[in-house]
Chains A and B, each alone.
Chain A
Amino acid sequence: MEIIKNFPCLSILMCMFAAIISSALNGKWAKWLNAFVLTAVGAMSLAVLYLTVSTGESYIYVMGHFPAPFGNEIRFGSLEAGIAFFFCVIMMLSLNGGRKKLQFEINPSKENLYYIMVDLLLSSLLALVYTNDLFTAYVFVEINTISACGLIMITENGHTIEAAARYMIMSLLGSGLFLIGICLLYDLTGHLLMSNIRVGIDAIVTNGTYKAPLLVTIALIVVGLAIKSALFPFHAWLPNAYGYSTVSSAAILSSLVSKGYIFLLIKIIYRVIGFDTFRDSKIINVLFVFGLAGMIMGSLSAIRENDIRRMISFSSVAQIGYIYMGFGLGTTVGMIASIFHILSHAATKSLLFVSGAGLTDVSGDRKEFIELTGAAYRNICAGLAFTVGSLAMVGIPVFSGFVSKLLFSQAAVQNAHKLLPTLIALAISTILNTIYFMKTVIRIYTPVKSKYTSVSVKENPLYVITLLCFVVLNIVLGMWSQPITDWIAQGLSVFA
């Protein structure tokens, strides 16, 4: 059992080393190494999850030999372990789903670079999840940004380079704000370790001093991370970045990268600022409003879109709006809903990207809707999977989206002031989601005499299995959500 406690640190290091080693390998080996690392990390996270759930406690792992408040720490409870495991699963599936297409999307000589980026990304995500040190978090935020940019740019076309540049600028802006926030925190409390800052902040709050600086700090951190996770109105970089990068990149970026930041934000809210302090600040109202606006505006943009990939990307803007709206409700239930939505959105969005790629593949690689007509008949699996993803997005029972909707609304009902706007925005957003997703579904099921050839199920077993896994994941999230919400609640309870 003791050995398991080393796993979080080990998995971060493993990823980093894999990245380093991959630079010396060719594409194929890099791929295998990456697959191995992913599996190993997944397994280790699962073990950690088992440990933390079974004991119901959280653990601190001291890096090196300096104890707090000087040393660097890793902290893991059940929530962190679960999220890490989930990230591995999604990443694995997303990579598998886009594996075949990757050959055509990037220059084969750059394949190992691609996997380096993926490895780095994973390591930074894991670090964001596990770390107990704000400055470490900042470092990995930057690593995350860089590797994400690499993933976006690697297709080497004009759109992606532009998108990557935009992404870089917005991200740096975000991390800049984040950094200032950290500095201010350090200024206020003299610490960088989360638990220690928390003690300091609690003292400040009880004394009632430094109100304005504290507010500014919270605002800076929240806004910084919100920019990085593409909360409306900071989403301008997103559609192109997701829309034109490789399939796997898009899936990973939308379901993991932004979620990594959001998870970091949750961690900061609970472990650094303190949930009550956060709730009492005005920031949550701002988040709430932006969340609602994002839900609506993202969907409206998606409706106007004529490119399936960009449409799915805009849908991400809306979904991130949901998550922030959950923050904005300022209740633990709302937080649980948001975390659940992180999971459900990750599972759904990557499914949509991967299956969407399957549909565009059989439509001459065109992403316009008109070309997609009847695509579901040409690639049956992708069609079905896309339908499932759409239904989940719309929030049809059985699929994961429904549960998040349920949780959000239940959370909203407990907040008398934000109840009506939330519920109405949810309903409207559902309608808007229906409009663009169902339009697409009907479109792909409209038969035409097409000039494109169809693919059979057998041609690409890996792809089909990936889709199947995604679908199952969605249904599991949708049908047996009780253990998951229990786990989230338990994880949150040991957070503070």
Chain B
Amino acid sequence: MPLDLLLEAVIFGVLLGCFYAAVSMGLSVSFGLLDVPHVAHPAIMVFGAYCTFLLTRYGLDPIVTGVLLMPPFFLLGMAVYRFYYEAFEKRGGKEAGVRGIAFFFGLALVIEVGLILGFGVDQRMVEAAYIGNSLSIGDMRIPLRFLVAFGVALVLMSALMLYLSKTFTGRAIKAVAQDEPALRLMGANPVRIKQWAFGIATAVAALSGALLIIIGPVEPGLDRVYIGRTFSVVVLAGLGSMTGTLAAGLILGISESIVLMQFGASWAPAVSFGLLLIVLGFRPQGLFGR
């Protein structure tokens, strides 16, 4: 492959990879830190994308809409976790694990079909000033929508990482992931903290959904593709590592981009899952895992 095409593929991969990392950060919190088998995370993100679509019809910019959606999604996340906790985690045992996964799968399905019933199977897009134009650097043309998504994704991730390391609740979340009994002994309520964390993860999913519909059109079945991508990133990163999520996202983005250039679009979907299987086979704890 010629060098200039390779360079474009890498740049493209970095932009896209950052977006994948942002999307996966929510899962990094809910699955990586909290051990919740949240297969429905991509579905909630797609739901967020559709909410963005609805609100932009009133003239709002998609990113602004995404930010506005964060509080209601935060509450939604808390409610979902509460339900999950009461129904499964409290009862404990291995059965809970199996049924927990089945529950989230059912939830993802209900969301997906709900979107089909509400919006139909057609693709939906949003319009904005930065969608449809590109930046010219030499011979390269970089679509602005990727740059915008990249920028917002970086801001989102930095905010989340700062929150987890600098604030009291943030550090409590990391503590509950490391050693729950110890936290309980220190007087904090782990269930409340986990609920809060799950809410944050869901709020992140909302903004990711807005970015999703900026990058390209969405349709209800899109969550299935992203289950592979997000779990791939989270597992490659190592459960619970936020910086790892960024690195893993970039790795996924760049590999997908290069495969797309070299082998064609029909092999690209297998990249994320292939990467996942390789990681699970050779280094299940991921790059930065605990």
Partners in one complex: no
A residues sitting closer than 8 Å to B (CB atoms) are none
